[in-house]
Amino acid sequence: MPYIHHSTCPVCSSAAIQFCTRVQDHAISKEWFDLWSCQHCQTLFIQDVPDETEIATYYHADNYISHTDTRKGILFKAYHMARWFTLHWKYQTIQKAIHTYVPGLDLHEKTVQPRVLDMGCGTGSFLHMMQMHGWQTEGIEPSETARNVAKKKYQLNLHPPAQLEQFPDQHFHLITLWHVLEHIHALHENLSVMYRLLHEQGLLFIAVPNYTSTDERFFGNYWAAYDVPRHVYHFAPQSMQTLLAAHQFDILKIIPMRMDAFYIAWLSAKYARQRLPFAYGMITAFISCLASYRYPMRASSLLYIVHKS
**Residue 24 resides in a domain:** no
d(CA 110, CA 108): 6
Segment 104-120, tens digit of pLDDT: 766 555 567 889 999 99
Answer yes or no: is 90 within a domain.
Answer: yes
* Domain presence at residue 55: no
CA-nearest of 131, 138, 143 to 167 is: 138
150, amino acid identity? A
- Burial status of residue 10 (CB atoms within 10 A of its CB: 0-12, 13-18, 19 or more): buried
The domain that holds 127 is classified in CATH as: 3.40.50.150
Q: What is the DSSP letter of 127?
A: H
Instruction: Confirm if 42 and 238 have CB atoms less than 8 A apart.
Output: yes
Q: What domain range includes position 304?
A: 65-308
Q: What is the predicted pLDDT for the residue at 80?
A: 52
**Helices and strands per DSSP (H, E), number in the chain:** 9, 12
Binning pLDDT at 50, 70 and 90, where does residue 33 land? Answer: very high
Compute the distance between CA of residue 17 and CA of residue 242 in angstroms, rounded to an integer.
16
The pTM assigned to this predicted structure is 0.92
* Mean pLDDT within 49-58: 92
Q: How far, in Å, CA of 210 to CA of 226, rounded?
A: 10
- Domain count for the chain, please give it: 1
Q: How many Å apart are CA 105 and CA 142, to the nearest integer?
A: 31
In a domain, 150, yes or no: yes
**Over the stretch 257-284, which tens digit does the pLDDT of each residue have?**
998 999 999 999 999 999 999 999 999 9
Whether the Cβ atoms of residue 150 and residue 178 lie closer than 8 Å to each other:
no
Residue 20 and residue 22: Cα distance in Å, rounded? Answer: 7
Residue 239 lies in a domain: yes
pLDDT at 83: 65
Residues 6+ apart with CB under 8 A from 158: 121, 124, 127, 139, 140, 141, 146, 147, 150, 151
Average pLDDT over residues 129-150: 93
Question: Is residue 300 domain-resident?
Answer: yes
Rounded to an integer, what distance in angstroms lies between the CA atom of residue 34 and that of residue 140? 29
Which of 33-37, 57-61, 95-99: highest mean pLDDT? Answer: 33-37
231 inside domain: yes
Q: Angle at the Cα of 127 (from 192 to 84), degrees rounded to 5?
A: 120
Beta partners for residue 308, in sequence order: 249
| pLDDT greater than 80 at residue 28 | yes
Q: Which of 22, 15, 58 is nearest to 38 (CA)?
A: 15
CA distance 238 to 40: 9
Cα 288 to Cα 279: distance, rounded to the nearest angstrom? 14
Of 56-65, 73-82, 138-147, the range with the highest mean pLDDT is 138-147
Q: Model confidence at 2, in pLDDT bands (50, 70, 90)?
A: confident
54-63 burial, b if ≥16 CB within 10 A, otherwise e? ebeebbeeee
| 45 in a structural domain | no
Q: Where are the alpha helices (DSSP H) in 102-236?
A: 125-132, 144-154, 187-197, 214-219
One-letter identity of residue 166 = Q
pLDDT, averaged across the chain? 91
| Maximum separation of any 2 CA atoms in the chain, in Å | 58
